Chains A and B, each alone.
Chain A
Amino acid sequence: MSSSKRSTIIVEQLRKQQMLEALLRGKRLDGRNFDSYRDLEIEIGIIDKASGSARVKLGNTEVIAGIKVETGEPFEGLENKGALIMSAEVLPTASSHVEPGPPDEEAIELSRVVDRGVRESKMLDLDKLSLIPGKIVYTIFVDCSIINSDGNLLDATSFAVVAALLTCKLPIFVVQDDKVVNTGDFMPPPITTIPISVTAVKIGDSVLLDPTMEEEACMDARLTITTQSDGDFVALQKGYAGPFAISQILQSAEIARNKGEEIRSRMKGLNKTG
């Protein structure tokens, strides 16, 4: 059951006023344009015990994604495919508003939206990750820990997941005498496309990309749009209690596609520097 609740973050009236005045001048409180992203830092391979990992800093929002690879049973109905299991946890370190405990509805929504982007785009070709069909397949765990929260956890988490998957090294398992054996060698992951999520929020009549925590506390509604490499849409999620006009949605979709492409080229460059 989900119930409306009072926002835990109360933004000072002064700040809200400042924000709205700035928006009328086409600027945000941190000086950005409506469609600018904050500084995006991506560091890969920081957890060397994991098969792949990435640390993303989007402004002050910081997320770490780690990939662990095991073998196990396939999902029901997907006997010939590798299993992909994703989770995200907002750590209590992330802000004074986070209570330790099982994930709340926002954290679960976060996990599922990020998962959808990766899964629906078929970023990882799971057909290539089956070992003994119906019995044993690769099980890829992608787990995210959100360390510091300053808004737009959706995009930051999604970028961390994508960066980790792009740069991971999968152990090569082979089947010998009906048993699965780790050869000790590694292979790059079977990647088919690079999904990039772009989140926009509506404040008054303005649509802003990559909201800070403060902007999220003032927003009327939020829209996350995930596109894949060929420009197709693979996931959409609208959040919060206010409405979007149709024109705003279409406009945001276009911006998301273009912005997605910008960020995608950074992701493509990762393997070369990593």
Chain B
Amino acid sequence: MQEIKRRYVIPGDKIIEGNYKPLMNVMKSGDYLISTRIGIAEAGKDGVKVIPLSGVYIPRVNDLVIGKVIDRSSLSWDIDINSCFFAHLPAQDVFGRDFSPARDDMGRQLNIGDLIIARIVSFDRTRDPMLTVQDKDLGKIPYGEFIKISPTRVPRLIGKRGSMIQTIEQATQTRVIIGQNGIVVVTGRDIEGLSLAVKAIKMVEEESHTTNLTQRVKSLLNVHDPSELEQSENALSSTAEVSNDALSSTAEVSNDALSSTAEVSNDAVSSSSSSSSSPTPPVTSNSSSQINLDTQEQSYSTAESQPQQQQQQQNFASVDSSNIKDDVEQSENDDASSNLADAYQKEKKQEANNEVV
């Protein structure tokens, strides 16, 4: 078990002294590693990072995002993805390589104001993000309740391996689609279930950094399920997550981290268990940098019955010290790999074997 120091920081705060590797939202200043954001700093043998609590969504390749069509040119649609850049969806992506503006009417596919769920295929320092809707379960979102949350809270909303969002979906009989960029769409038949789901989502956003959040969400939803293996709340996560800002030179995110994200997320997309027949796609999320989450969540299945998934505790610590004991016990059972990206991939292979489709 690894020793990890953890505390609240604001920009400029010294986190730790020594020759540690800056992982995310951290920079070297003299002998110290300092935070560049407001958030929760974690310092361990493998490096130092800060899980941010605020900030605009910075696009990353392979993220799933929900965007709004705001304009179009003759060859592509402009999409607002709630970020500092507009994204583009080429008409060829929708119509095929032989797209011809003269023959194919773009307006028949997508109009201004339409919402789509798409994947970012490219983005770098020199150009705007490009999107695709070609994969399974991507495309236009025809209806639903629309919510915007801070992108930094998305991992918390998804929960450990989708646990939080599954809890909400099951209790309210809804389907929730979450984009890494903080846009959420909820669909369901029952109006009350819908509004309860919305309430729960807003509660998670506001209280994401607190402990015992799952308990409070469950009592809001009137869920009491002692058979769930889920542990009590952790506000923090010690994951080797990719920097929120893939371009950040300060985070010095290694290329390994970036490519492992890409690998994992590709798995996530392909193992997406869309066992439902509903038109709206389930969420597949790549975790961006943020609070409380064990790495890139794979997609979780929809409101259908879930296989009991073995909840492997990773190295979480909690601000509330009464939870630490639980975590410690749990994680002693694990293969407490300190490289969480590896640990996650191991799990995924395991789960892929257990997966019920």
C-alpha gap A15/B113 in the complex (Å) = 9
Interface residues of B in 63-100 (CB under 8 A from A): 68, 70, 80
B185 touches A14 (CB 8 A): yes
Residues in A neighbouring B185, C-beta threshold 8 A? 14
Instruction: Say whether A17 faces chain B, with CB atoms less than 8 Å apart.
Output: yes
A12–chain B nearest beta-carbon distance, Å: 5
B70 touches A14 (CB 8 A): no
Interface residues of A in 8-33 (CB under 8 A from B): 10-18
Interface residues of B in 159-210 (CB under 8 A from A): 185
B146 touches A12 (CB 8 A): yes
Interface residues of B in 239-275 (CB under 8 A from A): none
A14 touches B112 (CB 8 A): no
By beta carbon, the residue of chain B nearest A18 is B145
Residues in A neighbouring B317, C-beta threshold 8 A? none
By beta carbon, the residue of chain B nearest A21 is B143
Instruction: Say whether B114 faces chain A, with CB atoms less than 8 Å apart.
Output: yes
Select the residue from A13, A15, A17 with max chain B CB neighbours within 10 A.
Answer: A13
Instruction: Say whether B293 faces chain A, with CB atoms less than 8 Å apart.
Output: no
Q: Report how many residues on chain B are interfacial, defined by Cβ distance under 8 Å.
A: 14
B334–chain A nearest beta-carbon distance, Å: 41
Instruction: Say whether B144 faces chain A, with CB atoms less than 8 Å apart.
Output: yes
Instruction: Say whether B149 faces chain A, with CB atoms less than 8 Å apart.
Output: no
C-alpha gap A33/B185 in the complex (Å) = 25
B161–chain A nearest beta-carbon distance, Å: 28
From A10, A17, A18, give the contact of B112 (CB < 8 A): A10
C-alpha gap A15/B143 in the complex (Å) = 9
A17–chain B nearest beta-carbon distance, Å: 6
B113 touches A12 (CB 8 A): yes
Interface residues of B in 27-84 (CB under 8 A from A): 68, 70, 80
A10 touches B68 (CB 8 A): yes
Known: A18-B145, A18-B146. A13 touches B111 (CB 8 A): yes
Instruction: Say whether B141 faces chain A, with CB atoms less than 8 Å apart.
Output: yes
By beta carbon, the residue of chain A nearest B145 is A18
Instruction: Say whether B120 faces chain A, with CB atoms less than 8 Å apart.
Output: no
B70 touches A10 (CB 8 A): yes
Residues in A neighbouring B80, C-beta threshold 8 A? 10
Known: A17-B143, A18-B145. A12 touches B112 (CB 8 A): no
A16 touches B145 (CB 8 A): no
A31–chain B nearest beta-carbon distance, Å: 9
C-alpha gap A229/B146 in the complex (Å) = 42
Residues in A neighbouring B70, C-beta threshold 8 A? 10
B225–chain A nearest beta-carbon distance, Å: 31
By beta carbon, the residue of chain B nearest A31 is B195
Instruction: Say whether B158 faces chain A, with CB atoms less than 8 Å apart.
Output: no
B113 touches A11 (CB 8 A): yes
By beta carbon, the residue of chain A nearest B142 is A14
Instruction: Say whether B115 faces chain A, with CB atoms less than 8 Å apart.
Output: yes
By beta carbon, the residue of chain B nearest A17 is B143
A16 touches B113 (CB 8 A): yes
C-alpha gap A16/B145 in the complex (Å) = 11
Interface string of B95-129 (1 = CB under 8 A from A): 00000000000000001111100000000000000
A–B pairs, 12, beta carbons within 8 Å: A10-B70, A10-B80, A10-B112, A12-B113, A12-B115, A13-B114, A13-B115, A14-B115, A14-B143, A14-B145, A14-B146, A16-B113
- Taking Cβ atoms with an 8 Å cutoff, the residues of A that contact B are 10-18
- Known: A12-B146, A14-B145; 8 extra A-B contacts, CB below 8 A, are A10-B68, A10-B112, A14-B143, A14-B146, A15-B146, A16-B113, A18-B145, A18-B146
